Amino acid sequence: MHLKMISSHRIFNGRQIKYRHHSSVLNCDMTFSLYLPESSSNHSKTALIWWLSGLTCTDDNFSQKGAFQKYASEKNLAFVIPDTSPRGATADSEDWDLGQGAGFYLNATQDPWKENFQMYDYLTKELPELIYPLIPNFSGKESIMGHSMGGHGSLIVGLKNPERFSAISAFAPILNPTQVPWGKKAFTAYLGQDPSKWNEWDATSLIQAPSAYRPPIMITQGTADEFYKTQLKENTFLTAAQKTNAEVIYQKEKGYDHSYFTIATFIEKHIAFHYQQLSQ
Domain with 97 in it: what CATH number? Answer: 3.40.50.1820
pTM: 0.96
* Candidate list 147, 152, 258, 270, residue with the active-site label: 258
Is 21 one of the annotated active-site residues of the chain? no
Among residues 156, 204, 159, the alpha carbon closest in space to that of 178 is found at 204
Is 2 one of the annotated active-site residues of the chain? no
Kindly give the confidence (pLDDT) of every residue in the chain, 280 residues in length, as a single tens digit, with 9 standing for 90 and above: 589 999 999 999 999 999 999 999 999 999 999 999 987 555 689 999 999 999 999 999 999 999 999 999 999 999 999 999 999 868 899 999 999 999 999 999 999 999 999 999 999 999 999 999 999 999 999 999 999 999 999 999 999 999 999 999 999 999 999 999 999 999 999 999 999 999 999 999 999 998 879 999 999 999 999 999 999 999 999 999 999 999 999 999 999 999 999 999 999 999 999 999 999 8
User: Phi and psi (nearest 5°) for 235?
Assistant: -60, -45
Q: How far apart, in whole angstroms, are the C-alpha atoms of residue 209 and residue 204?
A: 9
* Candidate list 40, 53, 85, 148, residue with the active-site label: 148
Q: 13 lies in which domain range?
A: 3-278
Is 225 one of the annotated active-site residues of the chain? yes
What's the structural domain count of the chain? 1
* Candidate list 59, 83, 202, 225, residue with the active-site label: 225
Contact call for residues 189 and 280 (beta carbons, < 8 A): no
User: Phi and psi (nearest 5°) for 141?
Assistant: -95, 140
